[in-house]
C-alpha cells in the first residue's frame, strides 16, 4: 500500500450528491456517497449484495439507497432493508465508511472505522467566514498522489509550466527554505523588489493597488498528512513589510490543495483559492477561479506524462536536488504513517 488509510480524505463536494448518489473510488475502495435520512451524508460500499451492481447507479428514496438494477433498498448501516417481492433481511451487510460534512467538503475515512475521530479533520480559517471568499474545482489526474505533493512543495516549476500566469525567473533565482514541525513540512520562498507576474497584477488591480510598482512576493507551502498542501501566496507593494504588510498594501490568498488517492496511479484533486480581500465580489471570485483552473490544468498534462514515464522505466533512478527537500520530507512523513498502520518499519528514504 502506498497511501495511509486511517485518516480523513476529501471525497467530494456537497453539490456532487445534491440529487443522486455518487460513486467514487477512494484509496482503492469503491464507495457510494448519498444523503440518507434527514439529508445526512452517508457512505457505503458501492456493491449491491444481490448481484454486485454498483449502488451508485441507483437513486435515493426517503433516505434509502435503491439499487438501479432490481430495486433492492439499502440502509445507511449497510443492511438490506427491502426488495420488491423478496425476503432480503438475511443478506449480509455491506461495508460502511465514517463520513463527515464539514467546511464545504465531504470527508471520508477509508480505514478502520473504530479509529475515525472527526476532531482530526483539519480546521480551515477561511471556511464559513464572511471575511473570506472561496472558489475552487476538481480535477481527475492519472498520477501517483505523491507526484502532486512533490509538485506543490516545490514551486520552482512555475517559471516553466506557468510562464504566462504566475511564473517568473525570480522563483528560480531565489532559494527556498524547508523545515518540519512534527508531521507538518513547510517550504518558504520570499522574493523582494520584483515585478509582479500577470496573475498577481490582476490581483493588485482587483484590490485597488497599482500593478506597475515593484512588489515583495511570498510562497509558503505547508504539507500536512495524509496529502493536504495549503499554500500562502501573495504580493505587497515593495518596502511595506512583505508578508506582514497591512491589508491595504497587499493582495494575498490561500491556495487550497486536497489530494485524494483514487488508485496508486490516479487522484481526485480538489483545488481552490481563498482570499480575504473583497470577499463580497462574486465576479472576482469567478475570475480568480477561472484563472486558477487554467493554471492547474497546465500541471495536469505534465504530471500524467511524468507518471507514464515512471511506469515505462520503473528501474531508473531520479536525481534529487535541493529544491526537492520539501517533497522528500513529505514522503518521509507518509512513509512513517504507513509503517505505523501496518506495524512494520520502512526505510525513510524518499521513494
157 and 47 part of one domain: no
Of 140 and 74, which is predicted with more confidence? 140
pLDDT at 284 over 60: yes
What is the strand order of the sheet 250-263 is part of? 133-141, 266-275, 250-263, 228-237, 215-224, 184-194, 177-181
Mean of the per-residue pLDDT values for the chain?
Answer: 90
Give domain status of residue 3, yes or no: no
188 and 158 part of one domain: yes
Give domain status of residue 40, yes or no: yes
191 and 305 part of one domain: yes
d(CA 108, CA 11): 6
249 and 319 part of one domain: yes
107 and 184 part of one domain: no
Give domain status of residue 350, yes or no: no
pLDDT at 292 over 60: yes
138 and 114 part of one domain: no
pLDDT at 329 over 90: yes
Asked which of 87, 120, 153 is the last residue of a domain, the reply is 120
Of 199 and 347, which is predicted with more confidence? 199
Distances (CA, A) of 150 to 185, 243, 321: 12, 24, 12
103 and 202 part of one domain: no
Task: Tell me what pLDDT residue 348 has.
Answer: 42
Of the pLDDT bands very low, low, confident and very high (cuts 50, 70, 90), residue 334 is: very high
pLDDT at 94 over 70: yes
Report which of 46, 48, 21 is spatially closest to residue 31, judged by C-alpha positions.
46
Of the pLDDT bands very low, low, confident and very high (cuts 50, 70, 90), residue 316 is: confident
Give domain status of residue 157, yes or no: yes
DSSP string, 13-35: -GGGGSSS-EEEEETTEEEEEEE
Give domain status of residue 127, yes or no: no
Give domain status of residue 125, yes or no: no
Q: What is the pLDDT of residues 186-236, one digit of tens each?
A: 999 999 999 999 888 988 998 899 999 999 999 999 999 999 999 999 999
Give domain status of residue 271, yes or no: yes
pLDDT at 175 over 60: yes
| 0.85 surpassed by pTM | yes
139 and 193 part of one domain: yes
Number of folded domains that form the chain: 2
d(CA 64, CA 34): 9
pLDDT at 38 over 50: yes
89 and 156 part of one domain: no
Of the pLDDT bands very low, low, confident and very high (cuts 50, 70, 90), residue 351 is: very low
Give domain status of residue 347, yes or no: no
Task: Tell me what pLDDT residue 315 has.
Answer: 86
What does the chain come to in residues? 351
DSSP string, 31-80: EEEEE-GGG-EEEEES--TTT---GGGSEEETTEEE-TTT--EE-TTS-E
81 and 185 part of one domain: no
Q: What is the pLDDT of residues 42-92, one digit of tens each?
A: 999 999 988 899 999 999 999 999 999 988 888 899 988 876 666 666 778
pLDDT at 349 over 50: no
Residue 79 domain boundaries: 9-120
Task: Tell me what pLDDT residue 298 has.
Answer: 84
CATH number where 314 lies: 3.90.380.10
Amino acid at each position: 500500500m502506498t497511501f495511509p488509510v486511517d485518516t480523513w480524505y476529501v471525497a467530494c463536494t456537497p453539490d456532487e450528491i445534491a440529487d443522486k448518489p455518487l460513486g467514487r473510488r477512494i484509496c482503492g475502495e469503491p464507495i457510494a456517497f448519498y444523503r440518507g435520512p434527514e439529508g445526512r451524508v452517508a457512505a457505503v460500499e458501492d456493491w449491491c449484495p444481490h448481484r454486485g451492481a454498483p449502488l451508485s447507479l441507483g437513486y435515493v428514496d426517503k433516505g434509502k439507497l435503491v439499487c438501479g438494477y432490481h430495486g433492492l433498498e439499502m440502509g445507511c448501516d449497510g443492511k438490506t432493508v427491502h426488495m420488491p417481492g423478496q425476503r432480503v433481511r438475511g443478506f449480509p451487510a455491506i461495508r460502511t465508511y465514517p463520513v463527515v460534512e464539514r467546511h464545504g467538503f465531504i470527508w471520508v475515512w477509508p480505514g478502520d472505522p473504530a479509529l475515525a475521530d472527526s476532531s482530526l479533520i483539519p480546521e480551515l480559517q477561511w471556511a464559513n467566514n464572511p471575511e473570506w471568499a472561496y472558489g475552487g474545482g476538481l480535477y481527475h489526474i492519472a498520477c501517483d498522489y505523491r507526484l502532486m505533493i512533490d509538485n506543490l512543495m516545490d514551486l520552482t516549476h512555475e517559471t516553466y509550466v506557468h510562464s504566462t500566469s504566475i511564473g517568473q525567473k525570480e522563483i528560480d533565482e531565489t532559494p527556498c527554505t524547508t523545515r518540519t514541525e512534527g508531521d507538518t513540512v513547510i517550504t518558504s520562498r520570499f522574493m523582494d523588489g520584483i515585478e509582479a507576474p500577470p496573475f498577481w497584477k490582476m490581483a493588485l488591480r482587483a484590490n485597488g493597488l497599482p500593478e506597475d510598482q515593484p512588489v515583495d512576493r511570498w510562497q509558503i507551502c505547508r504539507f500536512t498528512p495524509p496529502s493536504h498542501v495549503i499554500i500562502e501566496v501573495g504580493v505587497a507593494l515593495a518596502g511595506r513589510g512583505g508578508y506582514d504588510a497591512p491589508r491595504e498594501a497587499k493582495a494575498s490568498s490561500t491556495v487550497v490543495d486536497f489530494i485524494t488517492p483514487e488508485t496508486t496511479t490516479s487522484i481526485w484533486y480538489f483545488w481552490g483559492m481563498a482570499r480575504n480581500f473583497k470577499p463580497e465580489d462574486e465576479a472576482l471570485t469567478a475570475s480568480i477561479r477561472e484563472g486558477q483552473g487554467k493554471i492547474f490544468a497546465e500541471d495536469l498534462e505534465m504530471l500524467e506524462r511524468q507518471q507514464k514515464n515512471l511506469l515505462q522505466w520503473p528501474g531508473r533512478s531520479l536525481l534529487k536536488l535541493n529544491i526537492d527537500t520539501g517533497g522528500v520530507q513529505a514522503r518521509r512523513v507518509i512513509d512513517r504513517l504507513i509503517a505505523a498502520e501496518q506495524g512494520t518499519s520502512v526505510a525513510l528514504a524518499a521513494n
